A and B are shown apart, each in its own frame.
Chain A
Amino acid sequence: MISCQDFISELGNLLEDDVASEIRAQLEAHLAHCNTCQVLYDSTRKTLRIVTESGSFEYPERVVTKVMDRIRNNK
């Protein structure tokens, strides 16, 4: 049986669906009886979704003109 620390070690790969089937089976077996890791997995997955879909740090398009002006002036 794997420990919570082992579970966290593989959490990144699990979130990215990048685990071999036998490891996945062990992770799922752990999740089935460990409420703490269930919450951790669920909330980290949701965090990832929120960040990815947030559209945060949008860049100001005006910089395209500024960049090209600087490049042309530096030629």
Chain B
Amino acid sequence: MIGVYTSLRFSFERETCVGFLPEIDGWSTESLSVLKRNFGLVPKIYRAQLLRPDLVDAEIELLDRLLFGKGALTRVQKEFILLAVSAENNNSYFPALHCQTLQFLGVKPEQSQQVAIDHREASLSNAEISLLDFARKLASNSQSFTDLDVESLRKSDFTDEQILEAVLMVGLTQLLNCVQMGLGTEPDFKPRVTFPLKEVNPAVDSERQIAEPEFAGDVVSDDPDFEIVARVKNGETDAFEELVRRHGRRVYRSLVSILGNAEEAEDALQDAFLKAFQALPNFEARSRFSTWLVRIAINTGLQRLRSRKDFDSLDEESEEFRPRNIQAWTDSPEDCYSREEIRKLVEKEVMKLPLKYRVALMLRDLEELSTEEAAAALGLSVPGLKARVLRGRLMLRESMVPYFSKAGVSKP
């Protein structure tokens, strides 16, 4: 590329986004290679923090030095601490991720699972059992943790350097677990570990309190719904009806685009508004009400989608798309058909688009959300949203060539 054209803001080829997670923009290649080398993928927990790539880089450096790097404890011992402490916290995300990692290290999945469930029954040496007793106690019962616990590890022949690493691994795991809880990141893999007699954290298709997209700490002051929202929060339930009227179409279109079915979208719309009403006391107006609501609708739709047997995973990478059918269109394509025919044609062809392009296109072109609003609603970066919308438009254009080309017009 030459001259000023180097300021291209995104590359059409670079639509690498997985699901509805942010693009891998602004991330150091070093961090990416650490993650790929050790996990074989970029786990969602790190993607989910990309509003601050500098902080993610710092976290990954800590991970690299403490967990992946050579230390006084073996890598497997450190991984076991991470598993046991996560299980102690009833966290299902990290066992799912690290059972996979331990498999790369030659540990059988059954043994990793047993470490998470009950490390005492996991065919470990007495020293390793003491190590995990120590880690679990520090994580779950730190008030009763004393020098005696440190002494018990010394008696099992652990050096002070190893004990220090064990303490740091517990701390790292607590940090990671807390971040995952706070962000509600869903597992990269279906959790293999179950926790008998315990309730686990959100699994793939579980309900979770919808989080507002947070971009700035300030309250959005120009929200046209501000007044009505305040009235509802003050107990005027009937005022909520105005919010349903204002945003019903937007919520409905979001849901039709995800579920591909009008009847189910109508049901899901009711669920979404009910959830929004119930969560309204926690809405702090750091985004527009409408953005927050669309996000709830999208999450509601996705939860329903995941419960389907034929659920087409959002994590699928799409193949490259290139426009092929290049035929000139008539000057006024709208005059070729009646308004009703065009409405139906658009509905039919939009529904054929892959999910992630369909949702982006509908929010942007049918609902006419701004790029920033649509990106916020989908949890995407602005370039990521633009790339999806463009892809959707190009695919839709391709499917409409037979109806509007000068070469010949067929009936929809």
Are A48 and B343 CB-contacts (below 8 A) given A12-B386, A53-B334, A66-B270?
no
Are A44 and B394 CB-contacts (below 8 A) given A9-B10, A13-B9?
yes
| Interchain CA distance A49-B257 in the complex, whole Å | 19
Contacts of A71 in B (CB 8 A): 237, 240, 273-274, 277
> Is B248 an interface position by the 8 A CB rule?
yes
Are A9 and B12 CB-contacts (below 8 A) given A51-B350, A57-B253?
yes
> Is A75 an interface position by the 8 A CB rule?
yes
A63 touches B269 (CB 8 A): yes
Determine which of B4, B11, B248, B252 lies in contact with A23 in the assembled complex, contact meaning CB atoms within 8 Å: B4
Cβ of A68 to closest chain B Cβ, rounded Å? 5
| Interchain CA distance A13-B249 in the complex, whole Å | 27
| Stretch with Cβ within 8 A of A (4 or more), from B42-50, B94-102, B137-145, B322-330 | B322-330
Determine which of A39, A50, A66, A75 lies in contact with B326 in the assembled complex, contact meaning CB atoms within 8 Å: A39
> Is A28 an interface position by the 8 A CB rule?
no
A59 touches B249 (CB 8 A): yes
Kindly count the residue-residue contacts between A and B in the assembled complex, taking CB atoms under 8 Å apart: 149
Are A46 and B404 CB-contacts (below 8 A) given A40-B323, A64-B245?
yes
Cβ of B392 to closest chain A Cβ, rounded Å? 10
In chain A, residues 8-36, which have Cβ atoms closer than 8 Å to a Cβ of chain B? 8-13, 15-16, 20, 22-23, 26, 36
Interface size class of B (residues with CB under 8 A): 35 or more
Interface size class of A (residues with CB under 8 A): 35 or more
Contacts of B257 in A (CB 8 A): 57
| Stretch with Cβ within 8 A of A (4 or more), from B25-33, B163-171, B208-216, B362-370 | B362-370
B330-359 vs A, Cβ < 8 Å mask (1 yes, 0 no): 000110000100111011001000000000
Cβ of A15 to closest chain B Cβ, rounded Å? 7
B374-410 vs A, Cβ < 8 Å mask (1 yes, 0 no): 0000000000001101100110110011001000000
Contacts of A13 in B (CB 8 A): 9, 386
Contacts of B334 in A (CB 8 A): 49-50, 53
Determine which of B248, B343, B390, B393 lies in contact with A56 in the assembled complex, contact meaning CB atoms within 8 Å: B343
> Is B7 an interface position by the 8 A CB rule?
yes
B244 touches A64 (CB 8 A): yes
B326 touches A36 (CB 8 A): yes
| Interchain CA distance A57-B362 in the complex, whole Å | 10
B8 touches A44 (CB 8 A): no
B236-255 vs A, Cβ < 8 Å mask (1 yes, 0 no): 01101100110011011100
> Is B266 an interface position by the 8 A CB rule?
yes
A64 touches B248 (CB 8 A): yes
A64 touches B237 (CB 8 A): no
Cβ of B66 to closest chain A Cβ, rounded Å? 40
Q: Looking across the interface, which residue of chain B has its beta carbon closest to that of A36?
A: B326
Contacts of B361 in A (CB 8 A): 51
Are A67 and B269 CB-contacts (below 8 A) given A9-B8, A50-B333, A50-B400?
yes
Contacts of A75 in B (CB 8 A): 237
B333 touches A64 (CB 8 A): no
Determine which of A51, A61, A70 lies in contact with B270 in the assembled complex, contact meaning CB atoms within 8 Å: A70
Contacts of B7 in A (CB 8 A): 20, 23
Cβ of A23 to closest chain B Cβ, rounded Å? 7
B274 touches A26 (CB 8 A): no
Contacts of A43 in B (CB 8 A): 328-329, 397, 400-401, 404
Given A57-B362, A66-B270, A67-B270, 15 additional A-B pairs, CB 8 A: A9-B8, A12-B389, A12-B393, A15-B390, A15-B393, A36-B326, A46-B333, A47-B400, A53-B334, A54-B342, A57-B347, A59-B249, A60-B266, A68-B241, A71-B274
**B-contacting residues of A (Cβ < 8 Å)?**
1-2, 5-6, 8-13, 15-16, 20, 22-23, 26, 36, 39-40, 42-44, 46-61, 63-64, 66-68, 70-72, 74-75
The contact sample of 18 A-B pairs, CB cut-off 8 A, is A9-B8, A9-B10, A9-B12, A12-B389, A22-B4, A23-B5, A36-B326, A44-B397, A46-B404, A50-B342, A54-B342, A55-B343, A59-B249, A59-B269, A67-B270, A68-B240, A71-B237, A71-B274
